Amino acid sequence: MAPSARSAGLTSIERVSDNADPPRVRVTLPGGTQVPGKLIRWRQAPAGQWWAQVVIQIPAGVVVQIADEDYASVPREPAAPQLVFRPLRHDAPDRRALELHVAGCWGATGRLTPTTAEAAAHFVKHGWAVACTTCQPPIAAP
Ligand SMILES: [Zn+2]
């Protein structure tokens, strides 16, 4: 008597996986590089060998798309712009001690300090920093 998928608990295992964050693993790529991943499931092949279904994140540049595959529905998750403070040489009422930039702005050079959108808005509101007029960092209005 073979158990059904439901009585074997497979359905409940999948439900748990859907709701829980999969456990982290390290995956060794050809060449020896290790990358972090999430273990989705163990699956045994008919010959007995176990395989792991793993989700890994790798640089997009190493992904080779296959002709005739449709990638239009693959979600894109752009990162929120990273904000940075650049210290200014002089502090004056018309030019404060810190300048706020979006990371990657041509004016964001030298020793940069990453910051949050909340802190950036606070610094600009109180006049401790000025927003770069070139990259116009997105900050909440005071
Ligand atoms: Zn800028």
pLDDT tens per residue, range 29-72: 889 989 899 999 999 999 999 999 999 988 888 899 999 999 99
Q: Check residue 89 and give its pLDDT.
A: 83
Q: Which residue has the tokens 């964001």?
A: 108
> Does 125 fall in a domain?
yes
Task: Compute the distance from residue 108 Cα to the ligand 1 centre, in Å.
Answer: 6
Same domain, 124 and 89: yes
Q: Check residue 139 and give its pLDDT.
A: 83
> Does 136 fall in a domain?
no
Could you list the residue range(s) of the whole structural domain that residue 117 is in? 83-131
Task: Compute the distance from residue 60 Cα to the ligand 1 centre, in Å.
Answer: 26
Confidence tier at 77 by pLDDT (50, 70, 90): confident
Same domain, 57 and 93: no
Q: Check residue 100 and give its pLDDT.
A: 95
Q: What is the number of domains present in the chain?
A: 2
pTM of the predicted model as reported, rounded to 2 decimal places: 0.47
> Does 1 fall in a domain?
no
Give CA separation, 25 vs 13, 43, 57, in Å. 19, 16, 12
> Does 66 fall in a domain?
no
> Does 137 fall in a domain?
no
Task: Compute the distance from residue 61 Cα to the ligand 1 centre, in Å.
Answer: 27
> Does 41 fall in a domain?
yes
